[in-house]
């Protein structure tokens, strides 16, 4: 069952600062592994996740351009960092700072992808929430087929206006989060 944001906004679920959500997928983005924190936060049992496409937890507030950028980075063999709003089975939502990497076997063959997420800082959530809202507007006016490229291009141009590329921008937000996490015992 996919929880859509159809009018019902849901409540925010927060990860504890020391918790990690981990999942793996096959090369087509179907889930092959989920850790217990993932199951608890997203509200799914293991058998409801395994074999399902990872867009099961996609939140309607997430611009398609973010995932376009993610898949381009991964398919180019790179590592992706992003701040993602996800939906739970029951229509609530949670924000994560995600690191997604390609998973190669010892022969160098792509086995799939691997993602580790933790709680982002409130500042990162606020910054990305307003950027994503702008990206959704760009997507709405671009039309469905052009939407992912249009909003990804808008983001790149917006960050370039501040002298930043996406990776520099997102890694700065990440390092703010790790500073916050270091205050834990």
Strand partners of residue 21: 117
Q: How far is residue 66's CA from residue 88's CA, in Å, rounded to a whole number? A: 19
Using CB under 6 A as the binding rule, whether residue 127 contacts ligand FMN is answered as no
Q: How far is residue 76's CA from residue 74's CA, in Å, rounded to a whole number? A: 5
Using CB under 6 A as the binding rule, whether residue 58 contacts ligand FMN is answered as yes
Task: Candidates 6-14, 49-57, 124-132, 168-176: pick the segment binding ligand FMN (CB under 6 A).
Answer: 49-57
Q: How far is residue 16's CA from residue 40's CA, in Å, rounded to a whole number? A: 12
Q: How far is residue 176's CA from residue 122's CA, in Å, rounded to a whole number? A: 10
Using CB under 6 A as the binding rule, whether residue 132 contacts ligand FMN is answered as no
Using CB under 6 A as the binding rule, whether residue 115 contacts ligand FMN is answered as yes
Q: Do 78 and 72 form a contact (C-beta atoms < 8 A)?
A: no
Task: Candidates 23-31, 43-51, 163-171, 172-180: pick the segment binding ligand FMN (CB under 6 A).
Answer: 23-31
Report the residue number, 112 or 121, with the smaller CB distance to ligand FMN.
112
Q: How far is residue 29's CA from residue 185's CA, in Å, rounded to a whole number? A: 36
Using CB under 6 A as the binding rule, whether residue 151 contacts ligand FMN is answered as no
Q: How many Cβ atoms from other residues are within 10 Å of residue 44's Cβ?
A: 21
Using CB under 6 A as the binding rule, whether residue 64 contacts ligand FMN is answered as yes
Using CB under 6 A as the binding rule, whether residue 25 contacts ligand FMN is answered as yes
Site residues (vs ligand FMN, CB under 6 A):
23, 25, 29, 54-55, 57-58, 62, 64, 67, 84, 86, 100, 113, 115
């Amino acid at each position: 069952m996919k929880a859509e944001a159809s009018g019902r906004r849901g409540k925010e679920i927060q990860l504890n600062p020391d918790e990690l959500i981990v999942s793996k997928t096959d090369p087509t983005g179907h889930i092959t592994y989920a850790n217990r924190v993932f199951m608890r936060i997203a509200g799914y049992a293991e058998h409801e996740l395994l074999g399902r496409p990872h867009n099961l937890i996609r939140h309607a507030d997430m611009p398609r351009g973010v995932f376009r950028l993610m898949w381009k980075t991964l398919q180019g063999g790179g590592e992706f960092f992003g701040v993602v709003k996800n939906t739970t089975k029951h229509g609530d939502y949670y924000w994560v700072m995600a690191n997604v990497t390609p998973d190669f076997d010892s022969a160098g063959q792509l086995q799939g992808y691997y993602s580790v997420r933790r709680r982002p800082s409130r500042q990162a959530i606020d910054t990305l929430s307003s950027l994503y809202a702008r990206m959704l507007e760009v997507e709405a006016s671009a039309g469905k087929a052009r939407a992912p490229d249009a909003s990804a291009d808008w983001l790149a141009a917006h960050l370039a206006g501040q002298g930043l590329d996406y990776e520099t921008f997102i890694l700065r937000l990440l390092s703010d989060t790790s500073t916050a996490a270091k205050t834990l015992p």
